Homo-oligomer: A and B are copies of this chain.
Amino acid sequence: MPRRVDPDVRREQVADAVIEEIAAHGLRSVTLARISERTGLAIGSIRHYFGDTLREVMRFTLNVLTQRIGRRATTMSDDPVARITDVIAFAAPTSDQERREHIALVEYRVMARTDPEFAADIAATSLQGAEVVRSLLRDALADRAIDEEALRREALLLFTLVEGFSFGSAMLSSPLRETDVRDVVTATVHRLRGAYPPVEEVAEDALS
């Protein structure tokens, strides 16, 4: 038996095994036996770190996922339009590791629809995401005349793109092209901006 292990490191190792299993075979296929195979740890050993139950393993793993993905989404450009594009591009990652994590999160979301205990965690994440999008959109339209109702609808558009790229990409066997995603989003946001007059023009119109 080796010297002392950092329990957090061990838990993260187990979470990674769960993520890999989900990405490879779906969330339904996650069992202690399969985690054991992937980690090389015995079932009893795994259980030791998670209050003895598979459910705790699953909860911890969801927590790891949301934190990793949330952390990733905060490293962004200064330009508001570019930041929106970054956020949406994050929803359709291209690196293997990130893809696996995103796929796992989609699978968790589907499960959480019918499991109240996980639903709360997922809902909190969704609210955060929606708030980020809305906030970014406000920044991007700071120089435009737009009422709250229209802002809400435009936020829905962007959020739907996040959802669409997230789900669509997770369901594919290979990643979407990042340039495609960025081009689509950039064009959409520019057209969106173009639909609302700059604030200065509105003032000039009132004068004339």
**A binding-site residues for B, Cβ under 8 Å:** 24-26, 28-29, 103, 106-107, 109-111, 113-115, 153, 156-157, 159-168, 170-171, 180, 183-184, 187-188, 191-192, 194-195
Q: With A and B bound together, what is the CA distance between A171 and B111 in angstroms?
A: 10
The number of times this chain is found in the oligomer is 2
- Shortest Cβ gap from A182 to chain B (Å): 11
Q: Which one of B114, B180, B188 lies within 8 Å of A24 (CB-CB)?
A: B114
Assess whether B164 is in contact with A160, with CB atoms less than 8 Å apart.
yes
Q: Which one of B113, B160, B192 lies within 8 Å of A171 (CB-CB)?
A: B113
Interface of A, helix, strand, loop or mixed by DSSP: helix
- Shortest Cβ gap from A107 to chain B (Å): 6
List chain B residues, Cβ under 8 A from A162.
Answer: 164
